[in-house]
Amino acid sequence: MNAIDLLLAQHREIENLFGQCKKASGEDKLELFHAIADLLVLHTSIEEEHFYPAAATGGIPEAQVREALEEHLLVKRSLADLLAQDAVDAEFDAKLQVLEELVAHHVKEEEDELFPAVESKLSKTRLRELGAALESMTTELEEEEALYERVQDVDELARAAPFSQEEPRPRS
Ligand SMILES: [Fe+2]
Ligand SMILES: [Fe+2]
**DSSP annotation of 59:** T
Model confidence pLDDT, tens digit, residues 15-35: 999 999 999 999 999 999 999
User: Would you kindly state where each structural domain of the chain is located, as residue ranges?
Assistant: 3-159
Q: Confidence band (pLDDT; 50, 70, 90) for 169?
A: low
The percentage of residues in the chain with a pLDDT greater than 70, rounded to a whole number, is 90
Q: What predicted TM-score, i.e. pTM, was given to this entire model? A: 0.91
14 near 49, Cβ under 8 Å?
no
Model confidence pLDDT, tens digit, residues 52-100: 999 999 999 999 999 999 999 999 999 999 999 989 999 999 999 999 9
Ligand with smallest separation from the Cα of 10: 2
Q: Give 11 Cα–ligand 2 centroid separation in angstroms.
A: 6
For residues 52-64, b (16+ Cβ closer than 10 Å) or e, as one string?
Answer: bbbbbbbebeeeb
